[in-house]
Amino acid sequence: MNHPSALTAFHQITAYAKYKKIVLFLDYDGTLSPIVDNPDHAFMSSAMRAAVKEVAKYFPTAIISGRSRSKVFDSLNDMTKDIVGAIVENNKFCVSVHYRNVDEKV
């Protein structure tokens, strides 16, 4: 079964969204990353990472996960530990990554 891709219709979506407030909520497992036998081995491809980064330039974007908040927090802390200025915040209902103090060239 084929499903339409928002990436192939991106310009149509942005035209339709003109003057509207759009927020994207993207599921991690099985959407941004392929479904694999071991969830710890589910990673986004470089192409998908670039697509999410591009979309986030236009719309507030959140990545949703069914994993525990503590596991997401630990993973994000590990992934951003070498990025100067990045802050990972463990909130009551979500984990946030603050990047406003990160050099744009990173």
pLDDT tens per residue, range 48-86: 999 999 989 888 999 999 899 999 999 999 999 999 999
User: Which pLDDT score is estimated for 73?
Assistant: 96
Measured CA to CA, the distance from residue 101 to residue 79 in angstroms comes to 16
Q: Which residues pair with 45 in a beta bridge?
A: none
| pTM greater than 0.85 | no
* pLDDT interval class at 3 (50, 70, 90): low
* DSSP annotation of 26: E
Does the pLDDT at position 102 exceed 80? yes
What is the overall mean pLDDT for the chain?
89
